[in-house]
Structure 1
Amino acid sequence: MSLSFDRRRPALAFTACMAAMATTGATAGCGSNAAAGGAGGSSQGRVPAVIKLKDPGNAGPLAYAKRERILEKRLKQVGARVEWGGTYASFTATIDAVRSRSVNVLEGAISPVLGYLANSDDIKIVSFSDRVTDPKAPHTDGLVVPPDSPARSLKDLVGKRIAVNKGGRGEYLLLLALEEAGVPVDRVQRVHLNPDQAASAFATGKVDAWWAIVRAYPEVVAKGARVLVHGRDLPEKDLSIIAARTELLQRHPKAVRVYVDVLRELYAEQRRSPEKFQNVFLDKGPTAVSGPRLQVELDKARYENGPRYAVAADGAYVTAVNGVFRKYGVLQVDVRPQDVIFDLARSGVPTP
């Protein structure tokens, strides 16, 4: 038995639909499959997913992804797109962009995110990156003092001014280090400054020490600063994370999974070939690195772990960082892991 297809039926059906709905004005339901949410659209009237990111700068997997348009290509496969935003001087400024919805996916660490999560439920942690433990890997942070400082240990900083990023990784590590050294935290003065402010204050002698992190750390060490203690010397639990706005996760978990998957792949590639992830857009200027500084960044990249999906066991890391901040009054309320970790691996997966 052969099957026949009447090619006039789509047109006839559309005409009938228009006639039946003419009195209501509800003609949107009479469009084609693409117009109603087929490929590249949003089914059932949902808004297509947009991953909104801050500018990634001139180095790292995200910068490489931007230059090569990798996210644009991969997100398009799930009906989503990426929107690149501005540059922010601090994590606090990035959080303000998240609050205003200019950014809806961000990278950071547990420590600075907790301050936001203590007062809001509109972002969730979707991935963690395990700490680098290989002793051959370069350090990425440290409590530094000027080269001529008489301080040789934390106990020598009693009564001194120490710059840290408020409620962030620097403050967490300093509190943990003081605790480990048996120095009461109120015996030093914590000065809350963002990285640029801290660099200036340290260079001009307005603070006696500084817990430098990320790119500020190798820069200040290259200028002669002496390190008293590193984060890797401590039993710290402040893992790097990726977080996303809750409404994005609820409506478009597949798009966020694509984002995390792309980063995981690129971090693995960076470990193999770190050179192509430095000076991605410019090889000259203030954002470019060369010589010994470039070598440090290449060495760091060879050991850096990429993101993995969050699992229930990661709640122990959130609890540990929260415990330090609560103990010393940085947080006024507890942040519970079950309230802030989002199971991206299972979200949107049909139940068998």
Structure 2
Amino acid sequence: MFSRTRRQLLIRAALVGVAATAPRFAPAAATGTNLRIGYQKSSTLITVLKIRGTLESALAPLGVRISWSEFASGLPLTEALNAEAVDFSADVADTVPIFAQAANASFVYVAQEAPSPGAQAILVKRDGPLHTLRDLRGKNIAVTKAAGSHYLLLAALAQAGVPPADTRIHYLAPADGRAAFERGSVDAWVTWDPYVASVDQDPDVRVLADGNGLASYQRYYLASRRFAAERPDVLAVLFEQLRGAGAWVRSSPRDAAHLLAPVWGLDAPTIERANARRSYEVRAVDAANFGEQQKIADIFLRAGLLPAPVDTALAQRWDFGKKQAVAIGV
């Protein structure tokens, strides 16, 4: 059994290089009047709220100001959350909190989005030799470490009976993964929307498999335990604003796509196609919707990517009725 300090050192060593994609800033002490939000490009709903200014307006009566930090992927975002450099993490893939829990990060699950299995995929060249998941054996594969797409890859390999060691996996940020895929340095690229939508209409690209039947792909919103305990009123506003943004994106897909286009640097039809694969149904976290987290933890442990077993039932979720953090199963 590893000590807490030893486990933290191991998980940090395993993730060397990933945190380099995070913004550089000093983790200044937070105050109850400053909400520091971390997000990534795929954090659609928080981006909608940021662009429209609706979250600032909703929090103004509580005397809360917002600062924003964008991250390349979910793992460095949760590392910033654990370092108290941010107070609230916009949606990260279901894999990411597993790594945070393994590192004994002090966080609480605030909300989740209902499954969106079609919003991530294994991409290959249309005229290439990969036609089944078994064909991934011996191939070069680009994936972002600890992202939801990483679990999709491991689940796909497990279904095909291909040990991860029988492939050559390259851990790359999304932009680098796309570049490697396009120049032919890798045979497959495993990623998520809107990155999937940015290339899936290319005549040279084919979807080998998406998450259907492999990985449900739920995205989670997290907060530091300290901030949650200090400002439950802010969490309540965040939850309602995210639910409202999700309802708006679903009911007004074209307007949402045009709103996001200049920010994401993608054309509106591409964004609309990506958004159609996401549920954007924000809901409270409870045990009934949490079962896959343990499967994710177990498959990463078997792959040698976690230093010790993770019991996801011990994670904390925010109970909006009690206004406190409780164990997942409570």
Q: Which bracket does the TM-score occupy, shorter chain normalised? A: 0.7 to 0.9
Determine if the alignment matches structure 1 residue 229 to structure 2 residue 209. Answer: yes
Q: Alignment partner of 2:70: what SS? A: coil
1:58-96 Cα deviation digits (max 9, x unpaired): 99432332233211222234x242423232222233234
Counterpart code for 2:316: I
- Structure 1 residues 57, 233: closer, same or farther in 2, change over 3 A? closer
Match of 2:64?
Answer: 81
Q: Using structure 1 for the length normalisation, give the TM-score.
A: 0.75
Determine if the alignment matches structure 1 residue 91 to structure 2 residue 74. Answer: yes
Residue correspondences, number: 293
Q: Alignment partner of 2:317: what SS? A: coil
Cα distance in 1, alignment partners of residues 76 and 45 from structure 2: 22
Deviates more, 1:82-91 or 1:192-201: 82-91
1:242 to partner: Cα distance:
0.5
Cα distance in 2, alignment partners of residues 281 and 239 from structure 1: 21
CA contact 1:310–1:341 (8 Å) conserved in 2: no
Determine if the alignment matches structure 1 residue 145 to structure 2 residue 129. Answer: no
After TM superposition, the structure 1 = structure 2 runs for residues 219-258 of structure 1, keeping only pairs within 5 Å, are 219-223=198-202, 224-234=204-214, 236-258=215-237
Cα distance in 2, alignment partners of residues 338 and 252 from structure 1: 24
Larger radius of gyration: 1
1:100 to partner: Cα distance:
4.0
1:47 to partner: Cα distance:
4.9
Determine which of 342, 345, 351 is the counterpart of 2:317.
342
1:119 to partner: Cα distance:
0.8
Which structure has more strand as a fraction of its residues?
2
Cα distance in 2, alignment partners of residues 277 and 194 from structure 1: 26
1:105 to partner: Cα distance:
1.0
Match of 1:205?
Answer: 184
1:298 to partner: Cα distance:
5.4
Counterpart code for 1:191: H
Counterpart code for 2:164: V
Match of 2:11?
Answer: none
1:244 to partner: Cα distance:
0.6
Determine if the alignment matches structure 1 residue 299 to structure 2 residue 267. Answer: no
Match of 1:19?
Answer: none
1:147 to partner: Cα distance:
2.2
1:185-238 Cα deviation digits (max 9, x unpaired): 22112111111111111111111111121211111212231111111132x244
Q: Alignment partner of 2:297: what SS? A: helix
Q: Alignment partner of 1:170: what SS? A: helix
After TM superposition, the structure 1 = structure 2 runs for residues 121-200 of structure 1, keeping only pairs within 5 Å, are 121-132=105-116, 139-200=118-179
Match of 2:12?
Answer: none
1:278-328 Cα deviation digits (max 9, x unpaired): 232764x862413x424414534xx62322111133442321211211122
Determine if the alignment matches structure 1 residue 263 to structure 2 residue 242. Answer: yes
- Structure 1 residues 246, 275: closer, same or farther in 2, change over 3 A? same
CA contact 1:325–1:331 (8 Å) conserved in 2: yes
Counterpart code for 1:296: R
Determine which of 32, 35, 50 is the counterpart of 2:34.
50
Q: Using structure 2 for the length normalisation, give the TM-score.
A: 0.80
After TM superposition, the structure 1 = structure 2 runs for residues 274-285 of structure 1, keeping only pairs within 5 Å, are 274-280=253-259, 283=262
Cα distance in 2, alignment partners of residues 128 and 173 from structure 1: 18
CA contact 2:82–2:224 (8 Å) conserved in 1: no
Match of 1:24?
Answer: none
Q: Alignment partner of 1:262: what SS? A: helix
Counterpart code for 2:108: K
Cα distance in 2, alignment partners of residues 281 and 205 from structure 1: 30
Ranges of 4+ aligned residues in structure 1 off by more than 4 Å? 55-59
CA contact 1:111–1:168 (8 Å) conserved in 2: yes
1:240 to partner: Cα distance:
0.8
CA contact 1:143–1:228 (8 Å) conserved in 2: yes
CA contact 1:88–1:94 (8 Å) conserved in 2: yes
Determine if the alignment matches structure 1 residue 326 to structure 2 residue 301. Answer: yes
